[in-house]
Structure 1
């Protein structure tokens, strides 16, 4: 199965149902009052963590998600039904960002966790809602409010307890296949693993069948912290691991120096995130069955003493030393304490509460006036300009907000074009 861990999609929440303009028509009631009902609310777009998903592959073929619109209001003050939410299933560990602003909308790490990503529009009010002492028989009703539309960037960060790091072909895949039921592809060439592999490791010797999740993550290369090669695709998955098992090829059979490799990998980790670099590391000297391994083991012991980390000579192919390594990892997990400060490498944008009554006026590239404002754009979208009463109500609110005065201060002239949302007007004094 192909592993996809970063993708862009578009979500559209449902538009609210339109309000109804209607009047009571009953026997013996000569002039019944307004009786138009409100429209129903549009459906939200909700993301839900699903246990049966472990990749974003499904989104490669389905990139647009649209919730249903609310039902329209009806006669006799009947309200339209609210639309059901559009449920989008995502794998555990999905980070949801607004692709246009970079704002983090949700970090979905728990099974069954839900987050409303795009809110449906409210239903338009029926004409019964606009009746008052000055206008007892209003003929207009509101259209439904449009639902939110968002372009999203989804990133999947593996939720593994232990991450295996090391250059390609040092034996990470062999180790995972030996200590868990995972069966990654293993071969004698570089970059065999181009997708992360998760394996559940049982630690039966510690009493009550403890388990932890180990991730065989694609091999690093120099410059990964700058995005070279698999770069950030690799490092993203290390962020949530608690313990790092650093594997080196003790034999140096491919001309690599295991001590030098250790420092190069840690340099890339530190450049990407200081927090990741501070995580507890356990050094595994693999391929101890090959010539040259014993000579390099002494140098690796000196390195481990200098860095203050544990070293385990192992052979993933034969199983030598794996029991001791796994028990040490399990013990380190038991002693693990999460750092309290926010995760580095992720900038969380504070969602600023926008003033709905704020009005701004600008010009587009054609020199035409553009009036922007949340409440005003909503009013335009929900106004039926084909109804004279509705139009007069809009003009009244327009004057109350002082938009005429603001346009005149910007130098608008008779007949010039004004844009508000999707509507276009010709300015008249």
Structure 2
């Protein structure tokens, strides 16, 4: 059997092999951000210390600085002063320091134990207020308040919605235990959604961010389940003969595209998100797997070896004749489509390296965006500007992020262990 067939027919088993390794105690490191060729386009911004934030369990100022610095779009100017939202501002002084914008705020401790987090974004060039708001939050959500402020700053200054308050999910292994974990987009605050002595693979967020679909081996075979992250309830949606793998949500959250080998060769099907209403979309003599819906729900991208090697194809969401999408390279797998439908991300094997590529679907221009060599499982941020993926570092997996132009790169400072199959959650309402 060819390498591709091993991946396609028993993709879940190959991925499980990659999960070898073990988790250690929580050890976090600073994020090192590599930014290439965007310096002149970075927005200079000063972030003053929020007054009274020493009373808070989390330093809001540090959270905002880390978020904006990690994005690659901002040059952080050290303010060296604490200023609240009502402090008098000498805009000329801040312009002289090179700051185009200034962030000020405060964190006030309330009698009921909550915190009132207030912030204001100032335009130093026009000497005006660009934005500002206040949030009342329990101690456990002060970090989220900081992320939301960073989101607002990012959107007001770039015109694109920020992703700092979104969440990610991924699979990790600690000893003999597999965990599906949910964390902040910066890798902090991980919470186990599922613990199992059997492998968990292929997690995928529902469009509303309340559920995750994944493949579990608890029944000694790959079975697709949907888990409600709020209640913990699980629904078995695909447990057919053979392999049940690669769940991908439709944009409206009503169904999943899946890869099943129930009829022998692995093919693409759809199934209701609550189970049932199974429909077969491909009936080829080839292996068809790894389906992904387009953002508008009208098409499905998938992997097939019908051309003799693994390539990415596109078909109508109701089935029909597929069209080949990737032509450069002889081994292209794991298609992921951007939220705006303009960019396709995938893993390509070239010269023995498995690396992350993006393809502009309008122009056909391809770009390699990773400089690591054992990459897997790309996932777009909900604003489409970044891609998270897993990559090997020695004998363990790490989570990395790269901008779609390849100019901003960093790895998440998750606790030591083996991390695989990240999936970036949607914007939350």
* Same-fold call, TM cutoff 0.5: no
Query: What is the TM-score normalised by the length of structure 1?
Result: 0.22
The normalised TM-score by structure 2 is 0.22
**Structure showing the higher helix proportion among its residues:** 1
Task: Name the structure with the higher strand share.
Answer: 2
Highest CA radius of gyration, 1 or 2? 1
